[in-house]
A and B are shown apart, each in its own frame.
Chain A
Amino acid sequence: QSVLTQPPSVSAAPGQTVTISCSGSSSNIGNNYVSWYQQFPGTAPKVLIYENKKRPSGIPDRFSGSKSGTSATLGITGLQSGDEADYYCGTWDSSLSTVLFGGGTKLTVL
């Protein structure tokens, strides 16, 4: 079981908005920055959000990140069928001295 907790799955219709949560503790999310990754089956993850809310160049502004306390959230607006993928949050854990990833959330666009 992952230290960072994500919902196993979320779903929404095209054009809708979805949020994916990542819950941790003060030793990880509470005191460290969070990143988010998108992974399609059989491919490598790609960073969508880094340092809680920054987007790398080329990532649409439909993707957003936020953090409050010991939880972080990835938001996706204007859902498209091409957004169907697994999404992972990641951060550092200061107590464990390790990088942590959430258990991943499978997004289904209905």
Chain B
Amino acid sequence: QPQLQESGPGLLKPSETLSLTCTVSGASIGGSSYHWAWLRQPPGKDLEWIGSLYFRGTTYSNPSLKSRVTISVDTSRNQFSLRLSSVTAADTAVYFCARHAYYCSGGSCIQNWFDPWGLGTLVTVSS
């Protein structure tokens, strides 16, 4: 079972860009059929999927965040990253990275689950 660890600044000001990195150990991002995902959970609120990527460069994200989200991969470091631009207080959340089992065909998703998850990192947006 791989282990995932998020890292990045925990405090941002409104309008800044959030940048987080997920380091994967125990599995190779580049040698896996799995996708890799970012999710978040505002304090006391529900889970929200931000977006996912496949190591060959395919990325896809939540339409509600798509215009602000960039997800990238560095297979040499076995890391993938999230950038979320123009943050506001509404982006305050615990951010998780996770391995994403994903297979969709013909408009239906047979595989779509997240395991394992990183421990999560709290990002606070405040002036």
| Distance between A97 CB and nearest chain B CB, rounded to angstroms | 6
B96 touches A88 (CB 8 A): no
Nearest A residue to B100 by beta-carbon distance?
A: A99
B107 touches A56 (CB 8 A): no
Interface stretch of the complex, out of A15-23, A30-38, A66-74, A75-83:
A30-38
| A44-B114 Cα distance, complex, nearest whole Å | 11
B115 touches A56 (CB 8 A): yes
Interface stretch of the complex, out of B15-23, B25-33, B46-54, B73-81:
B46-54
| Distance between A65 CB and nearest chain B CB, rounded to angstroms | 11
| Distance between B4 CB and nearest chain A CB, rounded to angstroms | 9
* SS class, residues of chain B in contact with chain A: strand
Specify which chain A residues have a CB less than 8 angstroms from the CB of B120 in the assembled complex.
43-44
Annotate B102-123 by CB proximity to A: 1 below 8 A, 0 otherwise.
0010011111111111111000
Specify which chain A residues have a CB less than 8 angstroms from the CB of B49 in the assembled complex.
98-101
Contact of A46 among B47, B107, B115 (CB under 8 A): B115
**Which residues, 31 to 72 on A, are CB-close (under 8 Å) to B?**
31-33, 35, 37, 43-47, 50-51, 56
A50 touches B115 (CB 8 A): yes
Specify which chain B residues have a CB less than 8 angstroms from the CB of A96 in the assembled complex.
63
Nearest B residue to A95 by beta-carbon distance?
A: B107
B47 touches A45 (CB 8 A): yes
B114 touches A2 (CB 8 A): no
Q: Does A24 contact B (CB under 8 A)?
A: no
With A31-B107, A31-B108 given, is the CB distance from A51 to B118 under 8 Å? no
Specify which chain A residues have a CB less than 8 angstroms from the CB of B48 in the assembled complex.
101
Q: Does B62 contact A (CB under 8 A)?
A: yes
B112 touches A35 (CB 8 A): yes
Sample of 11 further A-B pairs with CB below 8 A, known A43-B120, A46-B117, A51-B111: A31-B107, A32-B108, A44-B96, A45-B47, A45-B114, A46-B116, A92-B109, A94-B107, A94-B108, A99-B62, A100-B49
7 contacts between A and B (CB under 8 A): A31-B107, A47-B114, A90-B113, A98-B62, A98-B64, A99-B62, A101-B47
Report B's interface with A, CB cutoff 8 A.
46-49, 60, 62-64, 96, 98, 101, 104, 107-120
